[in-house]
Chain A
Amino acid sequence: VNPVGKLLTDAVPELPSPLDRVAEVAARVRRTRRRTGGVTVGLVAVAVALAVAVPQLLTDAGPQRYTDLPRPAGPVLVGADSCPGPGTDFGPSDVDSPGPLVPTGAVEVALCELPVNDMPGQPPVAQEPPRVLRTGVAEHVALLNSLPDKERYIELIRDKYGQPDAQLGCTLIGYPTEISLRLRYPDRDPVFVLLDRNCSTARVEQRVRYWWTDPLADFFDRYRKELGQTTDPRTVKRPDCGQTITADRLRMERYPSGPVDGIGRNRYGTPTMLPNTLLGAVICRYTVANSTAGLTATKSLDSDLPGLRDTLNKQFERDANGPVQPLVECGMPGDPAPTRLDTILVVDTTGAASEFWIVRAPCAAVITAGMAGITPTPAVLRVLDQ
């Protein structure tokens, strides 16, 4: 046996293969033909342009025209968590190359959030550790690689919505963080994917793909499930009523105030308020005196957590116009101050906790983080009063 050959052959790891390599090759052949056709058309266009422009240049020597070339991508600055740090340049957004967006074979996907902190008057956003996904990674990578390029994306929009002249654009929402994915591999350096929520694009160096399917929603869906399965329930702190709610927090006039929504941190992509199974819940009853809410009674809701979860999820159901339950001017800053308040505290299998505030007097409203008051459903009131 050739020892060098054996040494090298033994070094080859188990290699992942696409489900249908022949189909992948067929797609590659088609792309090459399209590019070849495009180059031919381009060369003809250049020849025509030169035939027109050269005589003009010879007779009228004007200033030379400068054309920007695509920039090479700058360095990805890796911070303390091996995530892109401040100043990271993900490269130009106006160039593209065919082919898969990311290599297959990743063993881990981490969602990195880089605080932007450039909005005057807004409280600073803290750098949080990345969310790390270790199950369903191959499926998530397959989704990333299934995202269409611009040309195909426009075709899909045209076919689905009947818009022959679909124009792509970006919103200008000032998100507090910039999001990227870090894909780690056993046999190569990590790959970073910029997820641009304003343009709905995923970018890796010279490749840009569009969110026909939302990759961020897919990540969070998998991450919530994994976190729920891997968190030891014995380590999860059960909800506990605070003795008071201060006036500042109660009136929500300063940040941070109002109900806590730890579950909301991973709620992206689902309309469901409580996407994971609950581990514990408690009602806290308060009476307000001197602008401060004081605890008067508590009651565990652990006997029917699935029922409670269902009741709360129905309370916050939404349709195309917003919350199904009517909005009400109650409990928010500028509205009459609460005199009686119930809160429902829940903790789920991911270990996250959230609060739901239900103003009982002088008006009735359910309040949760980031949402104006809505009318309580009869089912929620029954939970509180039974």
Chain B
Amino acid sequence: MPRPAPPGFAEFVGDRSAALLRAAWLLTGDSARAEDLLQTALAAVWRRWSLIDDPEAYVRRALFTTYLTWWRRRWRGELPASAPPERAAAGDHAAESADRDAVRRALSRLSRQQRAIVVLRYVEDLSVADTAALLGCSAANVKVQAARALAVLRADPHIKPIDSEVRQ
């Protein structure tokens, strides 16, 4: 018999999954991997649900630390080794897809830590101190990595220009 979810877990998943899944996609650039990453984080929360005061902070931490520690290694074996010579056919949303793909490609040029910092700082809107605490690194490191990540994104000609005033 499947074990029932801890009280309140299903509600939490229903309320917060969409936002967390978006963050997971920005980390992985792939919907299936994003779902896998989110479920891995949620499974970690499930096991400690009764001991956790702030489940969202715990899931976010699990999401990002899982991504940083074993995400790439785990998925390497499941990627096809060769890309097809053809591209997906252009549809009605071709322009939108192209923009999206450009951002995805730009993000893929960042290191895993830079990518995590960019998502935490600019999408999750965490402070430098909170980002550093979550990732277990120094505030100075967060600033340096954020600056380098923004430089990479700004230099990409395929995505919309990023204001130079954006804080690091």
Contacts and interface: CB of A to CB of B under 8 A. Distances in A.
Contact of B33 (A72, A82, A103): A103
B80 interface: yes
A4 B159 CA distance: 11
A247 to B, nearest CB: 46
Given A21-B17, A104-B31, A205-B78, A3 B162 contact: yes
Nearest to A80: B85
A3 B166 contact: yes
Contacts of B39: 21, 24-25, 28
Given A32-B43, A82-B86, A188 B32 contact: yes
A159 interface: no
A269 B159 CA distance: 48
Contacts of A28: 39-40, 43
Interface string B28-39: 011111111011
Given A105-B32, A186-B97, A72 B77 contact: yes
Contacts of B9: 22
B145 to A, nearest CB: 14
Contact of B35 (A17, A73, A102): A17
Given A7-B159, A187-B31, A26 B46 contact: yes
A156 interface: no
A4 B122 contact: yes
B81 interface: yes
Nearest to B30: A188
A69 interface: no
Given A3-B166, A25-B39, A191 B80 contact: yes
Contacts of B162: 3-4, 7
A18 B81 CA distance: 27
Interface stretch (A8-16, A58-66, A115-123, A338-346): A8-16
A105 to B, nearest CB: 5
Interface in B45-83: 46-47, 77-83
A9 B119 CA distance: 9
Given A3-B163, A8-B119, A30 B2 contact: yes
A9 B123 contact: yes
Interface residues of B, number: 57
A72 B81 CA distance: 11
B160 interface: yes
Interface in B69-128: 77-86, 88, 97, 99-101, 103-104, 107, 118-119, 122-123, 125
Contacts of A22: 5, 9-10, 13
Interface in A365-380: none
B14 to A, nearest CB: 8
Given A21-B17, A24-B39, A4 B81 contact: no
B160 A7 contact: yes
A82 B47 CA distance: 43
A202 to B, nearest CB: 14
Interface of A: 2-5, 7-13, 15-18, 21-30, 32, 72-78, 82, 99-100, 102-105, 107, 184-192, 204-207
Interface of B: 2-3, 5, 9-10, 13, 17-18, 21-22, 25-26, 29-36, 38-40, 42-43, 46-47, 77-86, 88, 97, 99-101, 103-104, 107, 118-119, 122-123, 125, 150, 153, 159-160, 162-163, 166
8 contacts: A2-B122, A2-B166, A8-B118, A15-B22, A15-B25, A17-B35, A189-B80, A191-B80
